Amino acid sequence: MIRILRAALLFLALTAFPATAQDTIQEVLQAHRETIEASSRRTIQPAIDAIRDSGHPAAPLVLEKWEARDMWQRTEDGLFFYVEPEGRNDLKVFDFDTASEIGVFSKDGFDQLKPNSGIRALIASALVKFQLTDPDASKRRDALAALARNGNAGHLPILRDAIAEEPSVGIRQQMERLERLLTIQFGASDDERIEAMTYFEGDLGVDARAALNPILTTTRRVAPGTEVPADVNLAARLRPGGEELSREAAYDMLVAANLAPARLTNSDQRNALQANIVDGSVGGVPVADLDSPAARDRAYAALEAAGTVPSAATTDEVDAALAGHVFFDAYNERSAAVTDAANDVLTSIELKVAMNQFIDLTLDALSLASIYFLAAIGLAITFGVMGVINMAHGEFIMMGAYTGYVVQQIIPNYTVSIIVAIPMAFAVTFAAGVAMERLIIRWLYSRPLETLLATFGVSIALQQIAKNIFGTQARPLTSPSWLDGQMAFNDIVAISYIRIAIFVLALIFLAFFLFLMKKTRLGLETRAVTQNPRMASSMGINPDRVNMLTFGLGSGIAGIAGVAIGLYAKVTSELGSDYIVQSFMTVVVGGVGNIWGTLLGATMIGFLQKGIEWFNPSNTLAAQTYMIVFIIIFIQFRPRGIIALKGRAAGD
């Protein structure tokens, strides 16, 4: 009796007021009860819209709980509530309108609403109206992100209303951009869509291209006659047998559209004629006369007319069918004004994209050039001043990287460890270079072949020692957190902070080397020995000491380069071998023993390698091969490099 009375009261409450004047959110839910219970994606939208547009303060709560599958329906009267689990079999039930707890009840008296992913997406879309005006800025940004993924025409007025009320300048700009993107897709008129497009002229955002490209999608079509239908927004007219449409593909389109019979291949025709030989003839044509394509076509046509074989097109019929139809690509967008505007905007974007891709490629090339410069500067000193071909130079780079790794094991603070590792790597490799010069190199001056073989042997020995100490697995040389990420100028141009740091380090070493060579006694003595060692010796300069310090200096700089390279490359025993070839190429191309030549050589090789990789991005090994071939050709015409050095290093 109580249940009947409650149902009667609910009925009176629902019928006493029209749907447009409902006082509670429960009344809105009951007005669309059958739709909600059916839970069909095809029919649920009116119920979601009614809740969203009801104006009730509880509307967002209903949508949130429904989307989260926390909305339940009481079986005895069909009322909707949201719940929280209370034990294994009980529910704590809350009223939507008051958000107050009603009590704890058994699950047996309630049914859970379980919207599928499609309905949940529709609910999430409806929630955007409330999220766009939420006091929490992060929720407004999340709502914009959701709109960018699943926006529709219904969101446009909601978004426009939210723009006027948005207090944050940054979020308002995001809203305005998104409003234009949605207007491009769902604008009420062509003029409105075209006006929104013009906002994105020269814009580099991926979202702009994502909104414009679908407008220019086309469908390949065929129509009888020789003229394109007047109601078609033509993208391109096609000629059968041309580059974009072969004759076979064109005729297949006719067959698929039931505008022509299937093609008759030679083998099909031959088999059909053989199967229908009667008394020495086929279709009234003697077998002896079937020695020409025209006779075979005539015989097959007779069989076709008699219904003996299926209809099929001969070569002449194919030609006639192709000539009697027009083939074209038609825009799916009906308005020519809209597609013309989209084409114009995309053309302006593509031009700017190309310019920014060139800038990005230039930054990559400069970054690579700075790495090669750091790797080669030490070799430029030893090779240029001493004429020593040091094949172990790459292993000094490897020693510097491993020194940085060891320092990080002792000092866990990555910033401090890198600051300590740079001078430590210089000290370790400087000492190793001095030891190598004193023990090996000094006995092999003016004997280049023996020097090359000896340093190559040292290279192999150092690699094996590194494997014995650190193993064959790559060791991490972690950069500080402030070097993580990249500096992004736009969606195309970006450069990592590590590469910026290496570029700055290369500039510092360029300045240091210039200061050393121009302003210090060691630089003066080094230049003197480079130009004329005998004259320098007669002036009281000890060439032997200069050679030792110079070799140690070049090795020390290689160690610092190893720390820098190890921040983004794998630190293994083979690290140095990856850079020794490029280092020698940099020195030889730039000009032996000249710092400016080394800089120009590194820049030239960096740009050359990146340029070749841009033309052939899938094969970096081929790019390096082409680069080596180019450099070999270059040396044939300029054997002393870009900037030739006078003195001993130049062979004078």
**pLDDT tens, position by position, 346-404:** 999 999 988 998 998 899 889 889 988 888 888 887 776 667 788 888 899 999 999 99
| Cβ-based neighbour number of residue 551 at 10 Å | 26
Mean pLDDT of 525-540: 77
Q: Is it the case that residue 646 has pLDDT exceeding 60?
A: no
Task: Give me the pLDDT at residue 6, please.
Answer: 41
Say if CB 376 and CB 602 are below 8 A apart.
yes
Q: Is 50 exceeded by the pLDDT of residue 206?
A: yes
- Rounded to whole angstroms, the Cα distance separating 330 from 236 reads 7
Asked if pLDDT for residue 224 goes beyond 80, the answer is yes
List pLDDT tens digits, range 77-114.
999 999 998 888 889 999 998 889 999 999 888 999 98
CA 295 – CA 302 distance, rounded (Å): 11
By CB atoms closer than 10 A (0-12, 13-18, 19+), residue 123 is: buried
Supply the mean pLDDT for the chain.
Answer: 84
Confidence of residue 145 (pLDDT cuts 50, 70, 90): confident
Q: Residue 593: what pLDDT?
A: 63
Q: What is the pLDDT at residue 18?
A: 37
Amino acid 128: pLDDT: 81
- Select from 592, 584, 576 the least CA-distant residue to 628: 584
Mean pLDDT (whole number) for 269-278? 81
Pairwise pLDDT comparison (16 vs 207), residue with the higher score: 207
User: Taking the model in full, what pTM does it have?
Assistant: 0.66
What's the average model confidence in pLDDT over 587-600? 79
Instruction: Categorize the per-residue pLDDT at 644 as very low, low, confident or very high, splitting at 50, 70 and 90.
Output: low
Q: Which residue has the tokens 């041309």?
A: 242
Q: Please give the C-alpha separations between residue 528 and each of 155, 203, 385, 525, 533, in angstroms, as whole numbers.
A: 77, 57, 10, 5, 7
- Residue 21 or residue 59, greater confidence: 59
Residue 265: its pLDDT value, please?
73
- Written as one letter, the residue type at 392 is A
Rounded Cα distance between 476 and 575, Å, is 13
Structure confidence at residue 318 (pLDDT): 84
Q: What is the pLDDT of residue 465?
A: 92
For residues 289-298, average pLDDT: 80
CA dihedral 245, 246, 252, 253 (to 10 degrees): 20
Percent of the chain past pLDDT 90, that is, above it, reads 25
Asked whether the beta carbons of 609 and 586 are under 8 A apart, the reply is no
pLDDT number for residue 528 = 79
Three-state DSSP class for residue 78: coil
The per-type count for the chain, helices as H runs and strands as E runs, is: 26, 12
Structural contact between residues 269 and 301, judged by C-beta atoms closer than 8 angstroms: no
Q: Is the pLDDT of residue 14 over 50?
A: no
**The pLDDT of residue 213:** 93
Q: DSSP class of residue 480? A: P
Q: What is the mean pLDDT of residues 33-47?
A: 88
Position 49 scores a pLDDT of 87
Q: Are 128 and 147 in contact (CB under 8 A)?
A: yes
pLDDT band of residue 410 (cuts 50, 70, 90) is very high
Which three-class secondary structure state does DSSP give residue 483? Answer: helix
96 and 26 in contact (C-beta within 8 Å)? yes
**Which residue in 338, 343, 345, 347 sits closest to 200, CA to CA?**
345
Answer left, alpha or beta for residue 87, where phi above 0 means left and psi between -120 and 50 means alpha: left
Residue spans of beta strands (DSSP E) within 195-324: 218-224, 234-238, 281-282, 285-286
Please tell me the predicted confidence (pLDDT) of residue 472. Answer: 85
For residues 530-557, average pLDDT = 82
Beta bridge partners of 106: 90
pLDDT higher than 80, residue 635? no
Angle between helix 336-386 and 577-590 (nearest 10): 80
Q: Is residue 13 predicted with pLDDT exceeding 50? A: no
591, 506 contact by CB (below 8 A): no
Model pLDDT for residues 147-204, shown as the tens digit of each residue: 888 788 878 888 888 898 889 999 999 999 999 999 999 998 999 999 999 999 988 8
Strands 494-496 and 281-282: unpaired
Q: Is 566 helix (H, G, I), strand (E, B) or coil?
A: helix
